[in-house]
Structure 1
Amino acid sequence: MPDDAPSHDIDQLIDDLIAREGGYSNHPADRGGPTRYGITEAVARAHGYTGPMALLPRDEAAAIYRRLYWLRPRYDQVARRSPKIAAELFDTGVNMGPGVATTFLQRALSALNRQAKDFPDLVPDGRVGPATLGALDKFLALRGPGGVTVLMRALEALQGERYLRLAEKRPANEAFLYGWLANRIGQAD
């Protein structure tokens, strides 16, 4: 693994995330409805939980985070290259969906490839596959530790812009904007 940050282990990332997300919530402006540990009722039900959301066990939430937001989007593969980038994708993916987080990575890498001189542009399809991993490998090899910092800034800029757009598009989201910007941007630092 590149030495770009302290190693982020998924158990610690999940613990930190659950601490930020808190316990049970049912905010009237939240389209996701009732949540516990940041897991929406729809996600919990889709993964077999049938009890009341207020009683969703922490270990069930952790298993959902690991399966849906770490392994399925292949952020474990990104972590082998850059634990810091993987941690950022994980956190963004939990809040916005892994497809959105991965699209941010693909867009940023394509914009940083010096007009395809370093590696081909990526199709922003929201999936971590061989092309995305290959581009990340080449980018990190060319840019080193400083490249991780720049890539993190690009990912966070895209994330922040999306939060602002969500609040502008749906005024009820303004209830969450301050918290999103305060608690979601820069969590992998």
Structure 2
Amino acid sequence: MDIDDLIDGAIDREGGFVDHPADRGGATNWGITQAVARANGYAGAMRALPRATAAAIYRRLYWLKPGFDAVAQRAPTIAAELFDTGINMGPAVATGFLQRALNALNRGATDYPDIVLDGVVGPRLLTALDAFLARRGPGAEGVLLKAIEALQGERYLALAERRPANEAFLYGWLTNRIG
């Protein structure tokens, strides 16, 4: 899948205009919150947010800016997961899941050094990802994906436990965001 396919999938999953009372993000369209739309120059009514504007925001904020395009060159399935998780939880959180998973899978830092958990795709993370994939072989990307999704699932449960209003979204998060 390329980024255009990922963006189309995200927009289709997110759907059109929603203003759920339990959603702290407030009014959204195509999954873009009003705050994000405004910060990216859109001044119109959220109901009228053009799909193309949403797509441009997704590409810029949730693919290029966090560096998921660099991850995609090495591990496209992981990059797709980071993109989707980044939309829902923020790119730094998604990157943090990758960093934590790589640290836990590096066999006591014998395969590559631990990565600082800073939520940034940088040279050390990419070097660690390259080393992990090379040392663990063909199934490595799938194992790494499972680890990231486990961290994501735990976070969704914690969000629902800490804020009962989030229980309205938990079933959908688990159904549409993991696996």
Q: TM-score, normalised by structure 1?
A: 0.94
* Residue among 111, 132, 135 paired with 1:139: 132
RMSD: 0.4
Deviation, structure 1 residue 24: 0.2
Give the counterpart letter for 1:170 in structure 2: R
What residue in structure 2 maps to residue 36 of structure 1? 29
Match of 2:167 in 1: 174
- Map 1:1-189 → 2, pairs under 5 A: 8-186=1-179
- The amino acid that maps onto 1:81 is R
Q: How many Å separate the matches in 2 of 1:127 and 1:142?
A: 23
What SS class does the counterpart of residue 24 from structure 1 fall into? coil
Question: Which protein has greater RCO, CA pairs closer than 8 Å, 6+ apart?
Answer: 1
AA partner of residue 91 (structure 1): D
Residue 144 of structure 1: how far off its partner (Å): 1.9
Deviation at 1:34, TM superposition (A): 0.2
Q: Name the count of aligned residue pairs.
A: 179
Separation in 2, partners of 1:117, 1:58 = 46
Please list the CA deviations of residues 110-156 of structure 1 after superposition, one character each: whole Å capped at 9, or x if unmatched.
Answer: 00000000000010100000000000000000112211111000000
Report SS of the residue matched to 1:13: helix
Give the equivalent residue in structure 2 for 1:5: none
How many angstroms apart in 1 are the aligned matches of 2:146 and 2:43?
40
| Residues in 1 aligned to 2:3 and 2:159: alpha-carbon distance in whole angstroms | 28
Q: Distance in 1 between matches of 2:138 and 2:177?
A: 22
Take 1:143 and 1:59, find their aligned partners in 2: how far apart are those partners?
Answer: 40
Q: Output the amino acid matched with 2:128.
A: A
Q: Distance in 1 between matches of 2:104 and 2:47?
A: 43
Q: State how far apart, in whole Å, the 2-side matches of 1:142 and 1:152 are.
A: 16
Query: Hey, what's the Cα distance between the residues in 1 that align with 2:114 and 2:135?
Result: 16
Output the amino acid matched with 2:131: K
Runs of 4+ in structure 1 over 6 Å off: none
Percent identity of equivalent pairs: 72
- In the alignment, the residues of structure 2 paired with residue 160 and residue 29 of structure 1 have an alpha-carbon distance, to the nearest angstrom, of 20
Unaligned runs of 5+ in 2: none
After TM superposition, the score normalised by the length of structure 2 is 0.99
Partners of 1:24 and 1:62 lie apart in 2 by 15
